[in-house]
A and B are shown apart, each in its own frame.
Chain A
Amino acid sequence: MRSAASEGDTRVIYRGAEADLLRGWWCGLDAVFKFRRPFIYRLKVLDDAIRRQRTAREAEMIHDAKRSGARTPLLYFVDPANALIVMQWVKGRRLKEAVSSLPPEGLERVFAELGGEVARLHASGIMHGDLTTSNVLLDNDDDKSDDNELTLIDFGLAIRTTRLEDRAVDLRLVKETLTGAHSEVASKAYAALLEGYGGEVGPGEVRAVTRQVAEIERRGRYARVE
């Protein structure tokens, strides 16, 4: 893919549901090539439009998030027509893979930090839109270390918004992911996340957004009517 601009080896490092990630060199920089591959089950005209739109959206949102101070990869190159983004390679593993090996205190610290990160994003008017533990990179050499580096990735569903509802949708997805995939630590991790979130935006804001999360849950099909 665009071999003229890359030098040396380019190899696949991750095959996600939506995109393939390749690592290689871009103008002398250690880079990740994110390519949204076509979905063969989707009608071509629809598929092309979605991939183009999400590529452009992701680039725009990574840029905006970066400007707001959130930790995201640096953007190097965007080609919406070919559904390609080239960005900075960031060290770390997916939080999803790290969760089970984190000691309890470490887990709480990481999620509190994530909460702060998300709060800063929200405060600057950006909703991530796909906040699962797959879309957070964690870089710590030692699981006990205090020195966690979190990076938010995958902004393909992000939007510019200041609505309470959208902020709550973000938090609800974290909650859904935690209960769905990390049930054993879900309540602890979520509580830590809210604490970190509150540390950035204050307790009043946390109350408002968690109330809205509960409201969204009540809207769920067959949710208990109380």
Chain B
Amino acid sequence: MGRFVVGIESTAHTFSVAVASGEGKILSDVREVYSPPEGSGIHPYLASLSHAKAAPRVLRDALLTSGVAEGDIDAVAYSMGPGLGPCLRVGAVVARSLALSLAKPIVPVNHAIGHIELGCLLTGTEDPLVLLVSGGHSMVVAFSYGRWRVMGETLDLTLGQLLDQFGRHAGLSSPCGMQVEGAASKSSRFIPLPYTVKGNDVSFSGILTTAKRLLDGGEGFEDICFSIQETAFAMMVEVTERALAFTGRKEVMIVGGVAANRRLAKMMELMTRRHSASFHVVPLRFSGDCGSQIAWTGHLAHSKGVTAPVEEALTRQSWRLDQVDVPWRE
């Protein structure tokens, strides 16, 4: 009997393979990140070419550095979705090939749930209210009756897209989150932007349009970055706070690529303090997309018998996390 799961991630920019143990140790996590030219976003087809080229090396390195023998591998997990079709297909092909050659079961994993489960593992949280913020998601979720339930989300752009698309408009190369954060930290001049909260949902498109117009009109890049962060993050923290008051959870966790932003984490921490809830941020190295989130969640799913036959181990570009049954949580 083996005790290890291989996880393959390829939803967007990142192609990554990791090996995790059933006790929750990450034994290896190798990544290759596709970066588009300055001023442009991710091109799904070009990204998938980059992934296909990187796959053999990333896979070999991950297996070798983990030190795990083939016979000790329990299962092969992969990101089935949601994500960019061409990129997802590379991961699915690698997963099917590896599983067939090792004669191991295949475990399809929902990428968003992967972020959450890895976050819980690394922060030691059990039943947190989760703020998942990345290029693909901006939602507040809590677990209830067998599924992660959405308590609030963006109605249009994600936080990652907002920061990225504004950065690109200013000529930066994607992903721009860190550069926007750096610029924002140099300003304290606030320019009002549309603050749009609808019920427990948020909308960021008005901020993006206004911010681009301000930049084109000669306003300072740093001042706009500062104002975008202050406005968009406050909206996200506000709906998280409502969900926290509503659900009465005792733990709050941020996961996803934008969890790396220190201003957002600071605002969330200030908010949670009032609610006698503990506050957790996924460690920086694991906030972005990585094989570990798939390997660990794959282990959890496999332990409850979740597998897919090879011919059904395909991809699902549209696969909301609230559509996924989660038998390993109570």
Taking Cβ atoms with an 8 Å cutoff, the residues of A that contact B are: 16-18, 39-43, 45-47, 49-50, 96, 129-132, 134, 157, 169-170, 172-173, 176-177, 179-181, 183-184, 216, 219-225
Contacts and interface: CB of A to CB of B under 8 A. Distances in A.
B172 interface: no
B318 A225 contact: yes
A111 B57 CA distance: 58
Given A18-B242, A224-B323, A180 B149 contact: yes
A223 B154 CA distance: 13
Interface in B156-198: 158, 190, 192, 195, 197-198
B110 to A, nearest CB: 10
Contacts of A49: 192
A16 B153 contact: no
Contacts of B151: 176, 180-181
Given A45-B190, A46-B234, A221-B136, A180 B142 contact: yes
A132 B245 contact: no
Interface string B185-226: 000001010010111110000000000000000000000000
A168 to B, nearest CB: 11
Interface string B273-303: 0000000000000000000000000000000
Given A41-B271, A222-B82, A132 B246 contact: yes
Contacts of A172: 199
A183 B200 CA distance: 17
B247 interface: yes
B319 A222 contact: yes
A221 B323 contact: no
Q: Indicate the size class of the contact surface on chain B.
A: 35 or more
B151 to A, nearest CB: 5
Nearest to A186: B145
A224 B247 CA distance: 27
A179 B149 contact: yes
Nearest to A129: B199
B234 A180 contact: no
Interface of B: 81-82, 136-137, 139, 142, 144-145, 147, 149-155, 158, 190, 192, 195, 197-201, 230-231, 234, 237-238, 241-242, 244-247, 266-268, 270-271, 317-320, 322-323
Contacts of B152: 176
A170 B136 CA distance: 25
A172 B318 CA distance: 20
A224 B323 CA distance: 10
Contact of B144 (A42, A176, A180, A225): A180
B92 to A, nearest CB: 17
Most chain B beta-carbon contacts within 10 A, residue among A40, A181, A222, A225: A222
9 contacts: A16-B245, A43-B190, A134-B246, A176-B150, A177-B200, A179-B322, A222-B81, A224-B318, A224-B323
Nearest to B242: A17
Contact of A41 (B231, B270, B323): B270
A220 B153 contact: yes
B230 A43 contact: yes
A46 B318 contact: no
A224 B151 CA distance: 19
B156 to A, nearest CB: 8
A72 to B, nearest CB: 18
Contact of B320 (A173, A181, A219, A223): A223
Contacts of B139: 221
Given A41-B270, A169-B198, 7 more contacts: A129-B198, A130-B199, A180-B142, A181-B246, A183-B147, A223-B320, A224-B323
Given A42-B234, A179-B149, A181-B246, A157 B199 contact: yes
B259 to A, nearest CB: 16
Nearest to B319: A222
A194 to B, nearest CB: 18
Contacts of B244: 17
B150 A180 contact: yes
Which of B139, B153, B319, B320 counts the most A-chain CB atoms under 10 A from its CB?
B320
A132 B145 CA distance: 19
A50 B195 CA distance: 9
Nearest to A14: B245
A183 B271 CA distance: 27
Nearest to A133: B246
